Amino acid sequence: MGLPKKSVFVVSDRTGLTAEELCRSLLTQFPGLHFMTTVLPFIDSDDKLSEVVSQINLASETDESRPIVFVTFVNAEYRKRIDQARALVIDVFSSFMGVLSRELNTTPSWQAGHSHGVTDNARYNSRIDAVHFAMDCDDGVNTDAYDQADVILMGVSRSGKTPTCVYLAMHFGLYCANYPLTDDDFIDDKLPEVLRPYRGRLLGLTIDARRLHEIRQKRRPDSPYADLARCQSEVRRAEGLYRHYRIPMSDTSGISVEEIATILLQQTGIRRELLG
Amino acid sequence: MGLPKKSVFVVSDRTGLTAEELCRSLLTQFPGLHFMTTVLPFIDSDDKLSEVVSQINLASETDESRPIVFVTFVNAEYRKRIDQARALVIDVFSSFMGVLSRELNTTPSWQAGHSHGVTDNARYNSRIDAVHFAMDCDDGVNTDAYDQADVILMGVSRSGKTPTCVYLAMHFGLYCANYPLTDDDFIDDKLPEVLRPYRGRLLGLTIDARRLHEIRQKRRPDSPYADLARCQSEVRRAEGLYRHYRIPMSDTSGISVEEIATILLQQTGIRRELLG
């Protein structure tokens, strides 16, 4: 890159994930610029904070322009001290806390660890149990546990089932199983027997056959599995199955796991609540 | 709850995840209040926007106070229109874009899908490959693939290995395997042979024995597996192994998978870059 780099720091007394995500969302709106982002989590002592301020000030001397610093501190003293750094300091929480506090007529508690920590043990444990459930019910195994599933994703190999299940489990605490549609399932174009008792929880994933072919080519080059005609046939028969049994269908081509998950939550009407 | 509820809306023309996470971080600082949060993603047409504004206005009539609305729209027209709703409208992107734009001396591109969409295919694919790697190398299977691993987490059963691996794969695109320490590994208190070639990539998880006992009790009540004395012995021997082989160790007791992941990234010095 010929562009001068711009130093960006994300500083937090906790994980820094909220600020890191916001920072990423904002900076991607300036695609022509070259950012060097450094995340500094768990800055929770005077010494650590002093080091951070020195690091920022050093960057402001060596770079062509002052750094940008995204901050989420619950400690008011730290918020003041980092504001003295030679940088554009964007205090994520404080920017909104004033207006929220006035609107709610309540002062914020300014307690740490509320967004990415464990504040509610039962909720956290059920989220982790959901991740284990997704692992245990991946790729058509453990179908005996399907009665515990909130949703069962079906689709041909590499249509996006596994990452979507894991994402829904990790962030929304949903119990998601996934069932691969294979040649065996297409012999009579009937819904696999093991899925029949759970028709209300089934969701079908589909994908552009050419995109599927590319993904499979990378995995097993020039195999029958990756063959374009086979991909086309599998996708056509899977979609036929969804239509015949009126299974809600989502096309995962070219969209991210976050987007697929958002679409599926809308389709099912399951109450969306971000847990982590 | 005897408290009147406060309606909160998160509205976006994309997934809404950035706004939902920020909203959650902010509202957890007001623990005494009772929020009812509704997330409305993919609001990307005039009709959908009109419906959303009606829904917000309706809530402002039926609730005791006006709703709070967190917005991430890239469409300027939509940002203006939602501002007319009878609510406190918090425009997440615009709040920072002005100051960033002036600092960077560049106008933002205001393009959608940059934070949770697929903008870089190769990066997105490697993230998904990392999730599949974590699934394929869970719980000590597929050790032949360990040479591809960025990190190998070791620990006793239910010390947090699996969710941490999946999280690091999903959000940072890291190739993470995990290896369970079992009785067999404690016979001679030596590092399992299969791990020896990868000493530089090993990370040890540990956990308070009493907490481990509780977790295992829930899973298999009153089993030898859940027995407190056995948990204590397993934890002690695992920690002994880490110390003897100077394997970096993290205690996962009472902290979240996001916190564990943040600590491990710090310990390893692996460059932290949030991909999703």
Identify whether A116 is part of a domain. Answer: no
Angle at B149 between CA A255 and CA A38, to 5 degrees: 65
Which has the closest alpha carbon to B274: B203, B168, B201?
A: B168
- Would you say A228 and A273 are in contact if contact means Cβ atoms under 8 Å apart? no
Pick the last residue of a domain from B104, B139, B158: B104
pLDDT in tens, chain B (276 residues): 466 789 999 999 999 999 999 999 999 999 889 999 999 999 999 999 999 999 999 999 999 999 999 999 989 999 999 999 999 999 999 889 999 999 999 999 988 667 788 888 888 988 999 999 999 999 999 999 999 999 999 999 999 999 999 999 999 999 999 999 998 888 888 999 999 999 999 999 999 999 999 999 999 999 999 999 999 999 999 999 999 999 999 999 999 999 999 999 999 988 888 887
Backbone angles phi and psi of B158, in degrees to 5: 70, 30
CA gap A68, A88 in Å, rounded: 5
A276 → closest Cβ in B26, B124, B258 = B258
Please report which helix (H) or strand (E) contains residue B125, including its range.
helix B121-136
Whether residue B151 is found in the same domain as residue B208: yes
pLDDT value, residue A188 = 86
User: What percent of chain B clears pLDDT 70, i.e. is strictly above it?
Assistant: 98
Cβ–Cβ contact A145 with B under 8 A: no
Identify whether B85 is part of a domain. Answer: yes
The one-character DSSP state at B201 is G
pLDDT value, residue B271 = 86
pLDDT value, residue A243 = 97
Mean of pLDDT values over A153-172: 97
Asked if B92's CB is within 8 angstroms of A22's CB, the reply is: yes
CA gap B172, B126 in Å, rounded: 10
pLDDT value, residue B251 = 97
Residue A22 confidence (pLDDT) above 70 = yes
Residue A2 confidence (pLDDT) above 70 = no
DSSP for chain A, please give it. --SPEEEEEEEESS--HHHHHHHHHHHTT-TTSEEEEEEE----SHHHHHHHHHHHHHHHHHSSS--EEEEE-S-HHHHHHHTTSSSEEEEHHHHHHHHHHHHHTS-----TTTTTS-S-HHHHHHHHHHHHHHHHTGGG--GGGGGG-SEEEEEETTSSHHHHHHHHHHHH---EEEEEE-HHHHSS----GGGGGGGGGEEEEE--HHHHHHHHHHHSTT-GGG-HHHHHHHHHHHHHHHHHTT--EEE-TT--HHHHHHHHHHHHTPPP----
In order of A28, A68, B177, the CA distances from A32 in angstroms are 9, 16, 36
- Would you say B219 and B158 are in contact if contact means Cβ atoms under 8 Å apart? yes
Would you tell me which residues 74-133 of chain B have a C-beta closer than 8 angstroms to some C-beta of chain A?
74, 88, 90, 92-93, 95-97, 99-100, 103-104, 106, 108-111, 113-119, 124-125, 128, 131-132
Pick the last residue of a domain from B70, B104, B138: B104
Pairing of strands B88-91, A5-12: unpaired
Whether residue B145 is found in the same domain as residue B223: yes
CA gap A161, B52 in Å, rounded: 31
Which has the closest alpha carbon to B171: A220, A16, A31?
A: A16
User: What percent of chain B clears pLDDT 90, i.e. is strictly above it?
Assistant: 83
Whether residue B100 is found in the same domain as residue B145: no
Cα dihedral across residues B125, B131, B135, B141: positive or negative: positive
For residue B137, give the amino acid letter: C
Residue A180 confidence (pLDDT) above 70 = yes
Pairing of strands B249-251, A176-181: unpaired
Identify whether B27 is part of a domain. Answer: yes
pLDDT value, residue B246 = 96
Backbone angles phi and psi of B154, in degrees to 5: -120, 155
Mean of pLDDT values over A70-74: 94
- Would you say B231 and B209 are in contact if contact means Cβ atoms under 8 Å apart? yes
Enter the tokens of residue A60: 């402001």
A170 → closest Cβ in B27, B119, B166 = B166
Whether residue B131 is found in the same domain as residue B257: yes
Enter the tokens of residue A223: 């195999």
Asked if B99's CB is within 8 angstroms of A41's CB, the reply is: no
Identify whether B128 is part of a domain. Answer: yes
Helix, strand, or coil (residue B31)? coil
pLDDT value, residue B118 = 84
Q: What is the largest CA-CA distance in chain A?
A: 71
The total number of residues written for chain A in this structure: 276
CA gap B202, B150 in Å, rounded: 9
Whether residue A159 is found in the same domain as residue A190: yes
Enter the tokens of residue B48: 């959908």
In order of A18, A69, A245, B69, B249, the CA distances from A56 in angstroms are 20, 8, 59, 34, 30
Chain A residues whose CB is inside 8 A of the B162 CB are: 131-132, 135
Question: Domain containing B71 — which CATH number?
Answer: 3.40.50.2300
Whether residue B59 is found in the same domain as residue B166: no
Residue A275 confidence (pLDDT) above 60 = yes
Q: Which residues of A118-132 are buried (b: 16+ CB within 10 A; e: fewer)?
A: beeeeebeebbbbbb
- Would you say B74 and B13 are in contact if contact means Cβ atoms under 8 Å apart? yes
pLDDT value, residue B1 = 47
Q: Which residues of B193-231 are buried (b: 16+ CB within 10 A; e: fewer)?
A: eebeebeebbbbbbbebebbbbbbbeeeeeeeebeeebb
Whether residue A78 is found in the same domain as residue A137: no
Whether residue B75 is found in the same domain as residue B167: no
CA gap B122, A215 in Å, rounded: 11
Identify whether B56 is part of a domain. Answer: yes
For residue A266, give the amino acid letter: Q
- Would you say B270 and A132 are in contact if contact means Cβ atoms under 8 Å apart? no
Residue A154 confidence (pLDDT) above 70 = yes
Whether residue B135 is found in the same domain as residue B259: yes
Gyration radius of chain B's alpha carbons: 24
Identify whether A273 is part of a domain. Answer: no
Question: Domain containing B253 — which CATH number?
Answer: 3.40.50
Pick the last residue of a domain from B104, B132, B166: B104
Position of tokens 């072919």? A213
Chain B residues whose CB is inside 8 A of the A104 CB are: 6, 30, 33
- Interface confidence (ipTM) of the complex: 0.93
Identify whether B225 is part of a domain. Answer: yes
Whether residue A126 is found in the same domain as residue A74: no
Determine the angle formed by the axes of helices A92-104 and B17-27, rounding to 10 degrees: 60
Asked if A259's CB is within 8 angstroms of B115's CB, the reply is: no
Distance from CA of A51 to the nearest CA of B (A): 16
Whether residue B145 is found in the same domain as residue B261: yes
* The total number of structural domains that make up chain A: 2
- Would you say B168 and B174 are in contact if contact means Cβ atoms under 8 Å apart? yes
| pTM for the model | 0.94
Whether residue B258 is found in the same domain as residue B203: yes
Cβ–Cβ contact A157 with B under 8 A: no
Provide the domain limits for residue A53.
Answer: 5-104
The total number of residues written for chain B in this structure: 276
Identify whether B276 is part of a domain. Answer: no
Which of residues A121 and A225 earns the better pLDDT score?
A225
